[in-house]
Amino acid sequence: MDETGIHLAMTRLYGRAPIGERLYDSEAPEHRGKNISLIGGMSIDGLIATFTIVGSVNTDVFLFYIQEILIPRLWAGAIIVMDNLSVHHASVVHEAIEAVGVQVVFLPPYSPEFSPIELCWSKLKQLLCSAKARTSEALDQTLSKVINECISDEDGSEAITCGCSSQCRSRAKSAEVARRRVTIKLMLLIIH
């Protein structure tokens, strides 16, 4: 699981223009608006338990997310992989997670390449930039559409099982037992 930031001024930085002409986006706003934090988890089923809040994530917000949104979607024996954001290390967060039989594993410092959800955030932000949502309502609608329609189950399984064979991927999709095996394999890869 991880957090990312989005805002109203998200726009593509690169594009095409006729030869000799400069590319200019006349719809790009001058002010980006308030930052919106998006928190989510990723499993074999794709992006799960998403939550947005205006502003940054602090311990209280993160604890609310863990208790009310993420934990109800987890199963006993699940493993949560987190980066080293300071709110992830709060003792109340660990107590809430471990109380339901879920294990927490931290990524090595400065290692986003080991977090499959980073690929999902990249795709999500690319789609949001293309949509050019310039109001809070439009951003909410676009975000819901992108999460529900564009970030599919296939995206989750491909990212989670990267490095595994196609046979491993098909087993992971067919049974809950296989889901747990792939998660454990991923954790072993991250730990080593």
pLDDT per residue of the chain (192 residues) written in tens, 0 to 9: 999 999 988 877 778 888 998 877 767 777 778 899 999 998 887 888 999 999 999 999 999 999 999 999 998 889 999 999 999 999 999 999 999 999 999 999 988 888 889 988 988 998 998 888 888 888 899 998 888 876 655 455 555 544 444 444 444 444 445 555 555 555 556 665
Asked if residue 97 belongs to a domain, the reply is: yes
Structural domain contains residue 89:
yes
Is residue 160 included in any domain, yes or no? no
Q: Which domain holds residue 104?
A: 2-152
Whether residue 146 is contained in a domain is answered as yes
In this structure, is residue 172 part of a structural domain?
A: no
Residue 178, in any domain of the structure: no
Domain count, the chain: 1
Would you say 183 and 44 are in contact if contact means Cβ atoms under 8 Å apart?
yes
The predicted model scores a pTM of: 0.74
Percent helix, percent strand, percent coil in the chain, to nearest 5: 50, 15, 35
Q: What is the CATH number of the domain that holds 142?
A: 3.30.420.10
Backbone φ/ψ region at 65: left (φ over 0), alpha (ψ -120 to 50), beta:
alpha
Is 143 contained in some domain?
yes
Question: How far is residue 191's CA from residue 187's CA, in Å, rounded to a whole number?
Answer: 6
